[in-house]
Structure 1
Amino acid sequence: MTASQSHALTFVLNDAGGTAAGTQARRGFEIAAAYWSSVFTDNVTVNLNIGFSALDANVLGSAGSTRAGITMAQGYGALIADRTSALDAQAVANLRPLGTSNLAGFGAVEAIANNFANGTTGLNGYTDVSTRLDNDRSANNSTLAINTASAKALGVTRAFNGATIDYALADASITFSNLFDFDFNPTDGIGSNSFDFIGVAIHEIGHALGFVSGVDSVDRRTSPGQTAAGSLTSLENSIVMSPLDLFRYSSAGNLDWSTQNTPYFSLDGGVSQVFGDSRFSTGVLNGDRRQASHWKDAASGAPQIGILDPTSGRGQLQEVTATDLAAYDAIGWNVNFDVLANSGYKYTTADAYRAFATAVPEPATWGMMILGFGMVGASSRYRRRSGEVAVV
């Protein structure tokens, strides 16, 4: 196990196979972790299991995060207490009002959501998915599923039921596919048949740090064929939405947790998109065929909204943008510069390599660690494993 050095945010990386000290993969992960440590000033430790394994076809990497269920009132209180930047102040000032919850003291918000499945012809019997206003004050309106890494950044120590959140557990498990060729040194560009390893690592660590959405669970639970008992009862009484979903809008004043509209990240209550374009993906099953826990997929060759784009192409150099960092700032991470005043911020994986590779030991062998070209096409996607917490 190793940890990044000399930063308030520390990562502990635990080899789960194929990422032992001295390998190119370990070095790539450490450079990716060093990037996040360089921009976040939160004095916390994030524990990650990292490794290689067979994943689904066309999936480059996957991150499964440990989560805790907290009340909506807890989440609001933590965001308010954690204000350290102009962006934080704007984000908190425009949170949707908390109403009364069916769960005493929890607080509740309302949002646009999918209708529930009814039979096999589509949601509620219709061919097209429809939406509704979810304002029934049930568990999904009254709670948040927070990544434990995010909980650490916000200083949240207890779940909704009073149980202590164990900071010593792994905050996430990140797995890379062993079917693809990765380029570990982006300073001379990314090989035409390779993927940007450091970029994928920054992306997956980004999910562990809280770039997740409960809309992926909504998407799954409101698919054709789901029964009312299997969707309505289960979803409405589960903790699924994330802190990032508090800033997911489709119009002014309307939080949108559906898969049907055009959601975007907003700091002003949905009046505008952050930095002009901060659209989210909408869901694999009922949306745009990309997981909702990502920015809107950029067209091939077009600039990405940020490193949390759902796909990466062969030969494509990845970069973190101000829009990425704005999302983390809003959900509780403390960024070491004023993101609102630096909307043009871009930081490539080549920049990260030049800045942090000298601090990471050179691997003894630079032979290709993983081989295989099991994908046909120009790009591959990421996958995030979602989790739900039932309220009982």
Structure 2
Amino acid sequence: MKQFIQRPLLAGALGLAFLTPAQAVTFVLNDVSTGGMSAQQLAGFQAAANFWSGKLTDNVTVYLDIGFNNLGQNILGSTSSNFVTTSYSNVRTALQLDATSSLDHTAVSHLQSGSALTFMATQGDGSSRLDNDGSVNNLYLGMTTANAKAMGFAVGTSTATPDASIVFANAYAGDFSYSRVGGTPGNKVDFITVAEHEIGHALGFTSGVDDIDYCMAPRSGSACGISNTASRFENDWWYEPLDLYRYSAPGVADVRVGGTPYFSVDGGITSIAAFSTGTEHGDGWQASHFGPNQVNLMRPFVGNGQSYDASSRDLAAMDAIGWDLAAPVPEPQTWAMLLAGLGLVGWMRRRSA
């Protein structure tokens, strides 16, 4: 489930649109496989899309290219999302206007005021500092086009210009179980779980911390082809809506690579779930995931023989970044009690996500 985030070279300004009453997210799936997906594969992906349609009530259409094709060595699959950018002020306004649940209202009430964000950030040389200088990276956010639609922004995607592409490797097609009828065999990976996970990335479960992780020194040559990495970190957008809820302590917004960040909607007071911290300079897992030691759909791997859907923590994250839920998740003050009763589960065999 390796995720490859595709950033646009250019991104246009976004404007808020008038939304029709909430119904459900509609997914338009476009099979881009050479020779086409099998009936089982299509049914599995449709089941994953139906899961999200049953959880999210936003009246938007999400266009996805899907399929099985030949990918690089040891790559199980890839998700490439299209991104747009706008100011943090516009994102905050959109989230305020879109707030419908108790969690939404808590989340927006704890968003930073003003037009510029302040956070602990990693620098090009690997050091960190409190970044509050009002540079471009403090003023602007990127988001997947699907996430932008959920917030009410007018985004023109279609089958020809989809919101994301989710493609799996032909080499691993035999490793999947495509139906949950009778359970998932112990030597197979549940395809529906993997597809739900990848759709979650397209919907906006992403983090700019991954881009910083890939681009920072001492990575040979820089993955981004940036001659002046330190300057570029200040003079471009890097972070995304989910990063607004990335904390390392009460009142400490933290988008550094590594460390011990967690998801919080009340300004860091309550930790709902730990985040992963980066493949290159963090814990070895992409930061666009919850941590590996708790069973959530958006953890960085799925084990053989296991199948599961989005947890209340996954859904809370979707709620906070602008999606509307069909059923509410617990309010922040109840999370501490809920988390105290949860054990940690690990898998014997892992696949990277």
TM score, norm. by length of structure 2 = 0.83
- Per the TM alignment, residue 137 of structure 1 is displaced from its structure 2 partner at its CA by 1.0
- Per the TM alignment, residue 235 of structure 1 is displaced from its structure 2 partner at its CA by 2.3
Partner of 1:34: 50
1:242-281 to structure 2, matched below 5 A, reads 242-274=240-272, 278-281=273-276
Partner of 2:194: 200
- Per the TM alignment, residue 321 of structure 1 is displaced from its structure 2 partner at its CA by 0.4
2:104 pairs, out of 88, 113, 129, with 88
2:179 pairs, out of 181, 185, 200, with 185
State the secondary structure of the residue aligned to 2:51: helix
| Partners of 1:269 and 1:147 in 2: CA distance | 24
1:115 pairs, out of 96, 110, 123, with 123
- Per the TM alignment, residue 217 of structure 1 is displaced from its structure 2 partner at its CA by 0.8
- Per the TM alignment, residue 26 of structure 1 is displaced from its structure 2 partner at its CA by 0.8
2:236 pairs, out of 225, 235, 238, with 238
- Higher RCO by CA contacts (8 Å cutoff, separation 6 or greater): 1
| Partners of 1:51 and 1:185 in 2: CA distance | 17
**1:53 equivalent in alignment to 2:97:** no
- 2:123 and 2:233 in contact (8 A); partners too: no
- Per the TM alignment, residue 56 of structure 1 is displaced from its structure 2 partner at its CA by 4.5
1:131-142 to structure 2, matched below 5 A, reads 131-142=128-139
- 183-192 or 81-90, larger mean C-alpha shift: 183-192
- 2:143 and 2:240 in contact (8 A); partners too: yes
Partner of 1:283: 278
| Partners of 1:78 and 1:187 in 2: CA distance | 41
- Per the TM alignment, residue 336 of structure 1 is displaced from its structure 2 partner at its CA by 1.0
The 1:108/1:81 distance shift into structure 2, 3 A limit, reads same
State the secondary structure of the residue aligned to 1:288: coil
The 1:170/1:15 distance shift into structure 2, 3 A limit, reads same
2:287 pairs, out of 292, 295, 306, with 292
Partner of 1:219: 213
- Per the TM alignment, residue 54 of structure 1 is displaced from its structure 2 partner at its CA by 3.4
- Per the TM alignment, residue 18 of structure 1 is displaced from its structure 2 partner at its CA by 5.7
| Partners of 2:210 and 2:320 in 1: CA distance | 20
1:336 pairs, out of 323, 326, 334, with 326
| Partners of 2:181 and 2:238 in 1: CA distance | 40
The 1:311/1:19 distance shift into structure 2, 3 A limit, reads farther
1:318 pairs, out of 308, 313, 322, with 308
- Per the TM alignment, residue 132 of structure 1 is displaced from its structure 2 partner at its CA by 1.1
Partner of 1:357: none
The 1:58/1:294 distance shift into structure 2, 3 A limit, reads farther
State the secondary structure of the residue aligned to 2:76: strand
- 2:37 and 2:68 in contact (8 A); partners too: no
The 1:57/1:312 distance shift into structure 2, 3 A limit, reads farther
The 1:329/1:155 distance shift into structure 2, 3 A limit, reads same
State the secondary structure of the residue aligned to 1:296: coil
- 2:196 and 2:309 in contact (8 A); partners too: no
- 2:107 and 2:266 in contact (8 A); partners too: yes
| Partners of 1:231 and 1:78 in 2: CA distance | 31
Partner of 2:19: none
Partner of 1:64: 80
Partner of 1:369: none
- 1:253 and 1:271 in contact (8 A); partners too: yes
- 1:58 and 1:380 in contact (8 A); partners too: no
The 1:64/1:55 distance shift into structure 2, 3 A limit, reads same
Look up the equivalent residue of 2:352 and give its one-letter code.
Answer: R
Segments of 5+ residues of structure 1 without an aligned counterpart are 1-6, 99-106, 118-122, 124-129, 158-164, 345-376, 383-392
The 1:92/1:19 distance shift into structure 2, 3 A limit, reads farther
**1:173 equivalent in alignment to 2:165:** yes
Look up the equivalent residue of 1:28 and give its one-letter code.
Answer: G
| Partners of 2:205 and 2:95 in 1: CA distance | 16
- 1:282 and 1:288 in contact (8 A); partners too: yes
| CA deviation map 1:267-312 (0-9, x unaligned) | 11001112xxx000000111001100001012xxxx51x1011011
| Partners of 1:19 and 1:219 in 2: CA distance | 37
State the secondary structure of the residue aligned to 1:48: strand
| Partners of 1:312 and 1:216 in 2: CA distance | 20
State the secondary structure of the residue aligned to 1:312: coil
Look up the equivalent residue of 1:267 and give its one-letter code.
Answer: V
Partner of 1:379: 350
State the secondary structure of the residue aligned to 1:239: coil
- 1:247 and 1:267 in contact (8 A); partners too: yes
How many residues in Structure 1 have an aligned counterpart in Structure 2? 312
- Per the TM alignment, residue 317 of structure 1 is displaced from its structure 2 partner at its CA by 1.8
- 1:19 and 1:25 in contact (8 A); partners too: no
